[in-house]
Amino acid sequence: MFKLIDCKMKAGFFALLLSVTCAISSQAQNDNRFEISKQLEIFNALVKEMEMFYVDSLDVEKTLKRGIDAMLSSLDPYTEYFPERDMGELRMIATGESDYGGIGAFLREHHNGVIITETFEGMPAAVAGLMAGDRFLVIDTVNVEKASSEEVSNLLKGVPNTKLKIQVMRPGEKEPRTVELIRKQILFNQVTYYGVRNNDAGYIYLKGFTDKSAQEVKAAFEDLLKNHHIKSLILDLRNNGGGVLESAVQIVNLFVPKGKEVVSTKGKIPQWDRIYRTSAEPIDTLMPLAILINGASASAAEIVSGALQDMDRAILVGQRSYGKGLVQSPRDLPYNGSLKVTVSKYYIPSGRCIQQIDYIHRNTAGSAENIPDSLTSVFYTSKGRPVRDGGGIRPDFEVEEEKTPTLVYYLLNDYVLFDFITGYMRKHKTPPPIDSFALTNEDFEDFKKYAKEKNFSYDRQSEKILKNLKDIARFEGYLEENDSTTLKGLETKLTPDIERDFERFKRQIKKVMVAEIIKRYYFEKGELIQNLKDDPALEKALDVLASPELVDRTLNR
């Protein structure tokens, strides 16, 4: 009797609790909808007032686009608005193909105009003989000597297979060159290069995830198996910023059986939550596999590397990955625009989400911060190896990347190195053998002399910080005005000195110069091959794969 009454009382209590909860939830939704309507009405009125009364003429589209971008960037870096004119960029991200015709080149504003900085192999610019350093003068009948890079780019784009006449000035020449070419749809292969290392180890470099990436990786893998008889494989995902999630699942499927869970997504709308499983028969489930990652490996690249680590199918080598555990989906907007919006987080097979930056709980300054290691949790791979969430994918074998000196950044960004290489190309028209090319000490001395003649200068953060330290110490009374010894030695060491710093960083500067020269002759693929010659992470992966005992011990520890 008492149990029955107790049950009835509990049922009544839960019914009351449910009704109160629903009422609160309904009221919260109503309040939120009212707030949205209120703020939109205020925003609409504000725009109208600005358009009517602002002292200068207002470019409404440009002003509102800046406002939209600022609003979305306060959420996370991946939620973006694409108006109709930029929809081609969104399609390029997903497919690796443009929906327009172009010449196939990167452009940049130089000191005296817009120049070509890189051409793509097999594309119209390269076929027509255009080179890095060429400055645009006329496109068809339009003079572009004073145009911006965006204006030049828009003139170069057009319907595929339409003709285009371009006039350029090449450095070192007195007369302009005129070339005629035919626009072509721009296609970016995501597998930049694949080949064999150490006689029997396959190597594939994948630079991004489009809806064709899995097919490209599969084709490369099958060719390496059939024609090169490889015994192990290295998949290089360094500097791979990710892309299409489904493509990541398909690539994992090349190495694990059908029906395996690769990744799941969870967001605000439960109906959109999904579990992605392998759906096809794999190519190989036993071949030793290593994946190279670094701090610029993100999103889909982390799904592939993290899932294969969780399944104990691959050994990871390199540095901890970026830590992007968010999923974006496109949403159609009025007037043919689109919103690429973060809709969920993804979770790899062990159950962990590797999102490293907390965009919701920001600090008092409004900045998003990394999740500290102390707040991460332990998960386990299929064989019981501990792995952690909240901080990217940690490799099984960590290999430090050499840090690029500040001096090299300035040489690259200030056109000093670029212009010198352009002059070098005029003197060396025959492509050097990519396997044995090396920069001579004489070439390096010529570059150092060129930098001095161009009055190349650079600053360093350490020098600025030291100056601030001196000012603060003097203000607080810890450094007398006439003190000539305190901090003086450090100041001398940190003051930029081209002669000294060129010698100190000679090896790094020469490495960058060689890569740029090889890229001019052999395009992006050649630059990658060159950089693989001195690659500690690749060498470590080859050493690990060469030892079956080490592979087994790593995956079963």
The stretches in the chain having pLDDT less than 50 are 1-5
pLDDT digit string, tens, across residues 224-250: 999 999 999 999 999 999 999 999 999
Do the beta carbons of residue 418 and residue 409 sit within 8 Å? Answer: no
Per DSSP, 546 falls in state: T
Tokens of 169: 């000035």
pLDDT digits (tens, 9 = 90+) for 178-222: 999 999 998 889 999 999 999 999 999 999 999 999 999 999 999
- Single out the residue of 221, 222, 225, 282 nearest to residue 255, CA to CA: 282
pLDDT at residue 228, as a whole number: 97
Quick one: pLDDT at residue 100?
Answer: 85
Q: Which of 248, 250, 255 is nearest to 225 (CA)?
A: 255
Domains and CATH numbers, the chain: 100-187 (2.30.42.10), 191-327+342-401 (3.90.226.10), 406-458+496-538 (no CATH)
Q: What does the DSSP 8-state code read for residue 377?
A: -
| Closest by CA position to 240, among listed 292, 201, 188 | 292
| pLDDT (0 to 100) of residue 4 | 43
pLDDT of residue 214: 97
Q: 535: which residues sit within 8 A by CB, 6+ positions away?
A: none
Contact 454/416 with Cβ under 8 angstroms? yes
With b meaning 16 or more CB within 10 Å and e meaning fewer, what string describes 378-387? ebebeeebeb
Q: Which ranges of 234-380 does DSSP label H, i.e. alpha helix?
A: 245-253, 300-310
- Token pair in block for residue 505: 């960083």
Q: Would you state the pLDDT for residue 332?
A: 94
For 451, residues 6+ apart whose C-beta sits below 8 A from its C-beta are 411, 416, 420, 498, 502
Distance separating alpha carbons of residues 186 and 24, to the nearest angstrom: 54
Token pair 């070098």 is at which residue? 424
pTM equals 0.86
Amino acid at 217: V
Nearest to 204 by CA among 532, 547, 548: 532
Please count the other Cβ atoms lying within 10 Å of the Cβ belonging to residue 318: 29
Q: Hey, which residues does 261 pair with through a beta bridge?
A: 277
